Structure 1
């Protein structure tokens, strides 16, 4: 049982077979948190059933750096499962997420957190400025964002941007399922929370290749099925008002 006071900020980073990226990515995150975040923090590293040395490197890092914790899920279950596993052990008032490949800049975390507070919203999303991805990946992302926005009407510019900061209270009303992370802002809006966005830095991958969502054709068909499911979910939401003791409470039943 952890008797330490909870930190203000928890950072969750999923990894799957990232033995070449883990140490440099985590070292940079820890440096940013130590030097650029003026509040208590914790770093949650999630091993999504890796088959290389990712788990061992993660455990070693946790031993040498107390604010860092390791979570291991098995078998490999995808990014949404990895994030949910990480969220389950967080204690911070605010939770930040970013990918483990080094493309997200951890220096954007305190900026997103400050903007979330200033704008008084529940979720602050990043918009990848000057993306370093291939033309094909940029094009497919643009088309996917356009289609998703037309159907869900969530007005999110860059759903594929992994770096986000949100208030811990939001987890109470968010349902997780496979690939739910791709629709996190839409699910937040559906639950009645407020969402905003701002440009963030985007960088080339440090080493290796992408492990999540490999294959354009596979991602396309999976995305269509997921989009249909989320659309159905939003249309099935119950919205009503309760009046009790002369006080009116707005409530949405998931």
Structure 2
């Protein structure tokens, strides 16, 4: 399995945008949301605008409200009534990022599936390059070169990436980047279990075990537009717990060498 990390340059964006129009793209975008009432409306508008720039017309935006205590679900239902491309789902209680993504994946209908967060930290201009490059991969993962998170968040993330690299042989620089594109054939072939933030690692590990071709592309990121991150110490502990459960399920983890 080969893994590559490429720069997304202005020239690539223009070239990729032209290439995308040459073939039919059907795309599901899955967005987990928890207490994002200040972000969600603009986030959806930015996503749809990004799709328009890529000339993608056959798409659906699936937003899964994960038991929010604010008005996120109400806003989503209102927007869904006004846009047939938007499909909104809600969990009665907060179940976790993994559970929200699994719900979204199960509801998706298109041949390509992208997931991104509702906090608008990832620049949607990366989409055109991802859609062009997915022809050569089964899974494409974003790589944030300049993270705009807090220092503590960056330290935790770097430590976690080192941990999963040593345990699973994952050579990705940013395995938890909330911008990943999959072919449906891969998503349909796996059974996801993680209910929390470990789902990013679970997806990559299952792709490795399945012999998928994985690519990594640099994306631009910015600070969260509004609100605060929902990641707490409890979630970090939860990731570690799910990691141990994953190890028990897959006793033989294949360590992959990269070209």
Q: TM-score, normalised by structure 2?
A: 0.82
Residue 193 of structure 1: aligned partner: 212
Residue 150 of structure 2: aligned partner: 134
SS of residue matched to 1:76: coil
Distance 1:36 1:222 in 2: 37
Q: Do residues 31 (structure 1) and 37 (structure 2) align?
A: no
Residue 18 of structure 2: aligned partner: none
Whether the 8 Å CA contact 1:152–1:231 is kept in 2: the answer is no
Distance 2:118 2:99 in 1: 15
Give the deviation of 1:237 after TM superposition: 7.5
Q: Which structure's relative contact order is higher, taking Cα pairs within 8 Å and 6+ residues apart?
A: 2
Residue 139 of structure 2: aligned partner: 123
Distance 2:117 2:41 in 1: 14
Unaligned runs of at least 5 residues, structure 2? 1-23, 255-259
Residue 176 of structure 2: aligned partner: 160
Distance 1:233 1:149 in 2: 19
Distance 1:220 1:11 in 2: 26
Match of 1:101 among 94, 119, 122: 119
Give the deviation of 1:230 after TM superposition: 2.4
Whether the 8 Å CA contact 2:115–2:179 is kept in 1: the answer is yes
Whether the 8 Å CA contact 1:12–1:43 is kept in 2: the answer is yes
Higher Cα radius of gyration: 1
* 1:45-86 CA distance string (max 9 Å, x none): 111111211111001111111111111122211011101111
Number of aligned pairs?
Answer: 228
* 1:178-234 CA distance string (max 9 Å, x none): 2342312112112332211111111100100012x323xx34433322222223333
Q: Hey, which bits of structure 1, 4+ residues long, moved more than 6 A?
A: none
SS of residue matched to 1:235: coil
Spell out the pairing of 1:1-254 with structure 2 (5 A cutoff): 8-117=26-135, 120-177=136-193, 178-179=195-196, 180-183=198-201, 184-211=203-230, 213-215=231-233, 218-236=234-252
SS of residue matched to 1:34: helix
Task: Note the aligned Cα RMSD (angstroms).
Answer: 1.9
